[in-house]
Amino acid sequence: GQQLNQSPQSMFIQEGEDVSMNCTSSSIFNTWLWYKQDPGEGPVLLIALYKAGELTSNGRLTAQFGITRKDSFLNISASIPSDVGIYFCAGRNYGQNFVFGPGTRLSVLP
């Protein structure tokens, strides 16, 4: 089946640093979603993107819908300990189901 690639696979950062991660697809999408999953919990939606080039913020999080429609980016500014978790991207095209990436595992060091 179709798969998304996320990079990096995992990252360790110091508290207060900014974080960047991305998600790429071999197909074009018309919707990108970014989720965060805490240990033992279900994914929680962070940001939804519906238009190529769109830049959307949710507090310290900013996500962009790539202009090629084959990628998306998530940035976290001034990281804090509660940012720890796994960040998933998901994409879909019209009439199709969402495809999920394998996730980026974020660890924040105090």
Interface with another protein by CB under 8 A: which residues? 1, 3-4, 31, 33, 35, 40-45, 48, 50, 88, 90, 92, 97-103
- d(CA 81, CA 43) in angstroms, rounded, equals 18
DSSP 78: S
Helix (H) or strand (E) holding 39: none
C-alpha closest to that of 86 among 98, 102, 70: 102
Q: Which is nearer to another protein, 44 or 78 (CB)?
A: 44
Tell me how far, at minimum, the Cβ of 110 lies from another protein, in Å: 26
Q: Which is nearer to another protein, 95 or 110 (CB)?
A: 95
